């Protein structure tokens, strides 16, 4: 499936905005991404195995915070990083 990578994490993907990954859940997709692009999963998932508070994941435009959410090979997964500032 296609996974869209936010700009701050593209250093892990050789600046690629869209990459391929396999898996039947969001967590499996993130583990596959980490196998292909070491270190990227830690930027999205914390030490307790939960999505970091400043990260968002969308599956076909539906937001989810559940790493056990199922995905299909035809789905598009978008990882977004919340920005803050003042």
Check: CB of residue 81 under 8 Å from CB of residue 9: yes
Q: Kindly give the confidence (pLDDT) of every residue in the chain, 86 residues in length, as a single tens digit, with 9 standing for 90 and above.
A: 999 999 999 999 999 999 999 999 999 999 999 999 999 999 999 999 999 999 999 999 999 999 999 999 999 999 999 876 55
**Predicted TM-score (pTM) of this structure:** 0.93
> Hey, which residues does 64 pair with through a beta bridge?
57
Q: How far is CA 12 from CA 38, 61, 66, 71, in A?
A: 7, 24, 23, 23
Alpha-carbon gap, residue 84 to 17, rounded angstroms: 21
Q: Which domains does the chain have, with CATH numbers?
A: 2-81 (3.10.20.30)
Residues with Cβ within 8 Å of residue 9, at least 6 apart in sequence: 40, 43, 44, 79, 81
* CA dist., res. 37 & res. 39, Å (int): 6
């Amino acid at each position: 499936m296609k996974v869209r990578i936010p700009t701050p994490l593209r250093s892990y993907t050789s600046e690629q905005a869209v990459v391929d990954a396999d898996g039947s859940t969001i967590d499996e997709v993130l583990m596959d991404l980490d196998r292909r692009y070491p270190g990227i999963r830690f930027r999205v998932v914390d030490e307790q195995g939960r999505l970091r508070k400043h990260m968002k994941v969308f599956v076909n435009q539906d937001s989810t915070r559940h790493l056990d959410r199922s995905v299909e090979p035809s789905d598009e997964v978008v990882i977004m990083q919340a920005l803050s500032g003042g």
